[in-house]
Amino acid sequence: MSPKILLADDEEDVKTILKLFLETKGYEVCTAFDGLDAIDQVRKEKPDVILLDIMMPIIDGFEVCKKLKADPATAKIPIIMLSAASHSESVQRGLDVGAVDYLVKPFEPEHLEQLLGKVMNA
């Protein structure tokens, strides 16, 4: 069975490109378009890893991460934050709310692939 990834990002182009890349690497990918949808999809799909954009409508990625980490049913799912915000405060805040890592956009897809391998084998 292929590992399942939830990709939560409100930018359709980013979602399309990452989804195609990840599917070619053998992952099953489900998507969410905002923070509220991300929480619903996590509960429904039970992904192995969550790729979570920070700047999304309704609920931002920081709040989504906090809510998922506070719920025993979803607390153990690794979350990798994705954001164009590269300042150290955002990176630290992402890690503080429970993300296992933080990728600054734009990033090389191969870097994401390596990170996913590391996270899934942890």
pLDDT per residue rounded down to tens, the chain (122 residues): 899 999 999 999 999 999 999 999 999 999 999 999 999 999 999 999 999 999 999 999 999 999 999 999 999 999 999 988 778 899 999 999 999 999 998 889 899 999 999 998 87
For position 25, what pLDDT does the model report?
95
Q: 14: closest CA among 55, 49, 45, 44? A: 55
Do β-strands 101-104 and 49-53 pair in parallel, antiparallel, or remain unpaired? Answer: unpaired
Q: At 74, phi and psi to the nearest 5?
A: -125, -5
Residue 12 domain flag: yes
Residue 22 domain flag: yes
Buried b (16+ CB within 10 A) or exposed e, 78-107: bbbbbbebeeeebbebbeebbbbbbbeeee
Residue 96 domain flag: no
Residue 75: domain span: 1-80
Residue 95 domain flag: no
CATH number of the domain that 60 lies in? 3.40.50.2300
Domain count, the chain: 1
Q: What is the pTM of this model?
A: 0.95
Residue 63 domain flag: yes
Residue 116 domain flag: no
